[in-house]
Amino acid sequence: MEDVSLRWIFTLALAVALSCGPVAAQQATDDIAPELTTDLSARSADPGVRAAQHAKAQGRAMRAANWMISAAHPEAVRAGADILRQGGTAADAMVSVQAVLGLVEPQSSGLGGGGFLLYFDAALGEVFSLDGRETAPMDATPRLFQNATGEPLGFFDAVVGGLSVGVPGTPALMRGAHDRWGRLPWARLLAPAIDLGEDGFAVSARLAAMVAADADRLAVHADTAAYFLPGGAPIGEGDRLTNTAYAETLRTLAEKGVSSFYDGKIGRDITRAVQNAKRPGLLSEWDLRNYTIKERAPVCVDVSQHAICGMGPPSSGGIAVAQILGMLAEVAHATEDNSDVGHLIRLGNISRLVFADRGRYVADSDYHPVPVEGLLDATYLTDRAGSVLDDRALEEVAPGKPVFDHSLNMADHVGRSLPSTTHISIVDQYGNALSLTSSIENAFGSRVMAGGFLLNNQLTDFSFRAHRDGVAIANRVEPGKRPRSSMAPTIVLRKGKPVLVIGSPGGSRIIGYVAEAVWRYLNGMDLQKAVSLPHAINRFGTYDIERGSAAEGIAAALNERGFPTNITDLNSGLHAVAITPEGLIGAADPRREGVAYGE
């Protein structure tokens, strides 16, 4: 990719390929944001982290020689930095960061959710991936989110309450990573979050704004309302918020291990909360006792002298990012139209093609065979890319026909994907690299609390319909199944060594944000600029253009070429660490309150 023109790189600053969401025509106008878009920052008590926040505000990346962490809240970064200073690994630091994020950024992730983790083990020179995705209760059926007449429930009718709650995977994922790659004692890693829960933390402007915007739903369940709406009023910016119940949950995990979460009082409290919630759920103690994380083969694809490694099914992230970057590489020099608009047309069409493949083929591979190799085959990507060289929007977009060792006839997904998510990127002093994206799905998840933390609504990532015109949908609800995800933790390698660790939250646009930033950086752009520049996202045929940005100026030209446009907030939360011969570079998205810090 090194010889891509400056004009092409400039175009990429405005454009992004697909972040794969469910394939359903009615979602083309889906305007429900998973989280508010803000650039509000929580002030850190750590002088070094404050300096990093100042650098971010000035548009400068953070540089360091030994280790680097980029995550979604300064308190979490401070906790992780303390662990790395003590000689901890990237896995050790992740445990502390995630535990704190569950407290200070509860709308996005936590013990009640799940996630996907990529880890580069420097000693072995290999990338590993762990699947900590939630699972459906064993009593769930394909009609879980349908009414008595078989019609899909409204989205928030399905979300709010116990029906949407899957078995949480985050605690097992945290412990699984620590067991494999940790050095410091488990209990020490949870101590920062325990102390913060007991002593309290200052509510950030972002959290306060999100609570106020969601107050009606947060008021539905008494425990949730008592925490976020004390006395009936939303918590406000600067309020001192304590969470002794969360601290006690973490203390139990520290003393008794993660088994106490899945087979003990915490688990009983979770099932009780789910079964007694509005729209009672099906989650049982048996479901919790039988949960396990899974080590899966990462999806790694060569693109222009780099290996792009991501998560395989049940996440669509690794496949989709690889498809986008592979097709972009194919079309970069395959046309005489080098205008910005021409590039955007091709990017928009690529995104729609990848979206169509994702909606047809990708689901939990333990339940449904997924043609991963076929979808990433070089000939397949070349053929697909050849259809986007016209100077207008494609009139029709359909899933491709990848080489497949099974004869299957599947229908397209019907549902929504609005995950409220967080991302952590860490490189430690030993050369290990970690990329973790975790989520509770919609902002504040199911709005059901237990043990001081919110429970996910990840089951709404399944298709709300089981069949379409008599043909089965791959991502339908099934007992014990893991719903498909858009999360895209990514590690980019060159000559077997990591050069970029990255990921993002952002609802159905996650994959597009990641693909865009990776492409920009590998084409020579400054890392902070690569995560900060405006977004233009095409998911369903309509181009979403970031409000208040330079990208707005291209909307009229896109309209003329057949793409409707929508000026809107695009709330990515990219967190990235680059490994260079000169040292480590960290960047955090200015659209959220995260920060990159290293020493």
| pLDDT tens-digit map of 312-362 | 999 999 999 999 999 988 887 777 666 778 778 888 899 899 989 998 999
What is residue 45's predicted lDDT score, i.e. its pLDDT? 65
| Residue 68 placed within a domain | yes
What is residue 186's predicted lDDT score, i.e. its pLDDT? 98
What is residue 470's predicted lDDT score, i.e. its pLDDT? 79
Strands 449-450 and 453-454 turn out to be antiparallel
Concatenate the DSSP letters of all residues of 536-599 into one string. Answer: EEESSSSEEEETTSGGGGGHHHHHHTT--EEEE------EEEEEETTEEEEEE-TTSS-EEEE-
Residue 144 sits in which domain range? 37-296+418-481+575-598
- CA R_g for the chain: 22
Max CA pair span of the chain? 65
| CA–CA dist 289, 279 (Å, integer) | 23
Q: Into how many domains does the chain fold?
A: 1
Q: Amino acid letter at 429?
A: Q
The residues annotated as belonging to the active site are: 421
CB 149 within 8 A of CB 496: no
Strands 240-241 and 306-310 turn out to be unpaired
What is residue 24's predicted lDDT score, i.e. its pLDDT? 35
295: β partners: 130
Q: Give me 445's structure tokens.
A: 């998840």
| Residue 367 placed within a domain | no
| CA–CA dist 506, 510 (Å, integer) | 5
Q: What is the pLDDT of residues 266-306, one digit of tens each?
A: 999 999 999 999 999 999 999 999 999 999 999 999 998 99
pLDDT of residue 431 exceeding 50, the answer is yes
Mean pLDDT value across residues 398-423:
69
Q: Phi first, then psi: what are they for 371, rounded to 5°? A: -80, 65
Q: What is the pLDDT of residues 198-252, one digit of tens each?
A: 999 999 999 999 999 999 999 999 999 999 999 999 999 999 999 999 999 999 9
pLDDT of residue 23 exceeding 60, the answer is no
Question: In 239-272, which positions are buried (b, 16+ CB within 10 angstroms) versus exposed (e)?
Answer: eebbbebbbbbbbbbbeeebebbbbbebbebbbe
Mean pLDDT value across residues 383-394:
89
| CA–CA dist 590, 584 (Å, integer) | 19
| Residue 545 placed within a domain | no
Mean pLDDT value across residues 450-467:
94
CB 420 within 8 A of CB 571: no
| Residue 514 placed within a domain | no
| CA–CA dist 578, 585 (Å, integer) | 5
What is residue 416's predicted lDDT score, i.e. its pLDDT? 53
**What global pTM score does this model have?**
0.91
Share the mean pLDDT of the chain: 88
How far is C-alpha 202 from the chain's CA centre? Answer: 25
Q: Give me 399's structure tokens.
A: 């899933």
| CA–CA dist 228, 322 (Å, integer) | 40
Q: Give me 87's structure tokens.
A: 């000689």
Please report which confidence band the pLDDT of residue 406 belongs to, taking 50, 70 and 90 as the band edges: low
| Residue 242 placed within a domain | yes
| Residue 205 placed within a domain | yes
Percentage of the chain modeled with pLDDT above 70: 89
Q: Among residues 207, 172, 229, 195, which one has the least CA distance to residue 73?
A: 207
| CA–CA dist 108, 316 (Å, integer) | 20
152: β partners: 146
| Residue 132 placed within a domain | yes
Q: What is the pLDDT of residues 30-76, one digit of tens each?
A: 344 555 555 455 666 677 777 777 777 778 889 999 999 999 999 99
Please report which confidence band the pLDDT of residue 4 belongs to, taking 50, 70 and 90 as the band edges: very low
| Residue 589 placed within a domain | yes
